[in-house]
A and B are shown apart, each in its own frame.
Chain A
Amino acid sequence: MINTKKLSSVGIAGYGAYVPRFRISVDEIARVYEKDGKLISRSLGVKQKAVADIDEDCLTMAVEASKQALEMAGIRPDKIGACFVGSESFAYAVKPTTVSLAQALGMDNAYFTVDLQFACKAATAGIQIIAGLLEAGLIDYGLVVGSDKAQACPGDVLEYTAGSAAGAIILSRKKSLWLAKLNYIDSFNSDTPDFWRREGQSFPQHAGRFTGEPAYFEHVVKSSKNFLEKISKKAEGFDYAVFHSPNKKFPLKAGGMLGFGKQQMKYSLLVEEIGNPYSASVLISLANVLDKARKNENIFLTSYGSGAGSDNFWFKTTNGLLSGRRKKKKLEEMLKDIKEICYPEYLRKMGEI
């Protein structure tokens, strides 16, 4: 059981989003397996996915996104008191990525840290841990990153969407730095074997159609319904809604079931252009929403991690959003610089050949 408590000391001081510039289209992948790319693309609602380069990985992308967040927050790295990275594609099964990230950013040695794993919701769990540390007054700043160079077995349907990206958020208890305040959080979990990857295996497995209704929708919709009740709000009360997007169909359907419309979700469906970068997915969407939002607007966010669980968030942008949002380039702008690659190039960049 989780207590319903309005948070008083948690807000976003900075955010960053890094999406590698390479793209492989659903068409191109389908062509290799002699499938109908147009049909698949339509059914998934996905056109292409982002692919990290041969020398990029979870850590390197985390550094890119974190540096953006740090610059926006305008703080010294040694002020950060907690550092969490959520991923399904850490370079190591044993050896933390967070400490390498911390060192690369110039943090000192005093911070709470651990690598997090809960499929695509690892990073959002990290936000919630940091929220607790901030509320307790143990830290003033916390960094959370979701970063994945997502692997998918060649020929498997996941291959069309498993992408690469990293999203970073710096949370703080310093109200003057807040671009958005975090009002409430919640979480809903169960033991649901919809998608998994065993130790030592390169690629994940999934349970086909079971990943839909009993997995994604069960957790996303139920948890969101419960959350809305707890915080006494209705879908119409939010300006934006962000749902984890394994494809475009699922979030739109879930949103619809909860009363959210396409207008509210227009900035959080980047999956069509960049695919599903697993634990970076909601953070990238959130970054896009924050890039476009105005002051005093409400953001509803529900993540989903296979295995399974959902984390819920209610953010409200502050008066300080526009001035605090000192970004050099908006995510939308950055997503314009892309390079299309073919299937063998994709395999090479993923280290599979």
Chain B
Amino acid sequence: MMMNKNISPIKIWREAKNQHKYLGKTGNIVSFTQINAGPAGFEKQAPYWAGIMELQNGERIVGQIINSGKKPAVKSKVIAILRRTRESNKKEIVQYGIKWRIL
């Protein structure tokens, strides 16, 4: 069985284990941009916002900012939620990841 290296179930399993540590945590936007041309695996979702968030403890994370009706701005407060990330076909495992909602 050929596994897409980006949708490797093992890689996804490894990455999913720590998601609960971030879900529900809040932070602020450091910088952001709207991606109009997404790389393969994200093409269909474009356009979407992505940026660097800084958590309360100073840790910085890169992630997508979901469409919540509020326009992103530097310093906007955000909260971590779970959403589907990379597009997968009908046979592959579904990939989830941390995205950010503007509060």
Q: Which residues of B contact A339 (CB under 8 A)?
A: 69
Q: Which residues of B contact A67 (CB under 8 A)?
A: 23-24
| A55 with B20: CB separation less than 8 A | no
| B19 with A55: CB separation less than 8 A | no
What's the Cα separation between A64 and B82 when bound, in Å?
A: 8
What's the Cα separation between A106 and B21 when bound, in Å?
A: 8
**Does B5 lie at the interface of the complex (its beta carbon under 8 Å from any beta carbon of A)?**
no
Q: Which residues of A contact B11 (CB under 8 A)?
A: none
Residue of A nearest to B81 (CB): A64
A106-B84 contact, Cβ under 8 Å, with A53-B66, A59-B96, A91-B94: no
Candidates A60, A100, A337; contact of B81 at CB < 8 Å: A60
Residue of B nearest to A61 (CB): B82
Mark contacts of A174-186 with chain B using CB atoms, 8 A cut-off: 1 yes-contact digit, 0 otherwise: 0000000000000
**Contact-size category for A:** 20 to 34
| A59 with B69: CB separation less than 8 A | no
What's the Cα separation between A104 and B83 when bound, in Å?
A: 11
Candidates B17, B21, B69, B84; contact of A56 at CB < 8 Å: B84
What's the Cα separation between A92 and B16 when bound, in Å?
A: 17
Interface centre among B19, B93, B96 (most CB of A within 10 A): B96
| B84 with A104: CB separation less than 8 A | no
**Does B45 lie at the interface of the complex (its beta carbon under 8 Å from any beta carbon of A)?**
yes
**Does A24 lie at the interface of the complex (its beta carbon under 8 Å from any beta carbon of B)?**
no
Mark contacts of A34-56 with chain B using CB atoms, 8 A cut-off: 1 yes-contact digit, 0 otherwise: 00000000000000000001111
| A103 with B83: CB separation less than 8 A | no
Which residues of A (212-262) have their CB < 8 Å from a CB of B?
none
| A104 with B19: CB separation less than 8 A | yes
**Can you name 28 A-B residue pairings with CB atoms under 8 Å?**
A21-B68, A21-B69, A53-B83, A54-B44, A54-B45, A54-B84, A55-B45, A55-B85, A56-B83, A57-B94, A59-B96, A60-B81, A60-B83, A60-B96, A63-B23, A63-B82, A64-B82, A67-B23, A67-B24, A91-B94, A95-B93, A100-B16, A103-B20, A104-B20, A104-B82, A104-B96, A105-B20, A337-B69
Chain A residues engaging chain B, CB cutoff 8 angstroms = 21, 53-57, 59-60, 63-64, 67, 77, 91-92, 95, 100, 103-106, 337, 339
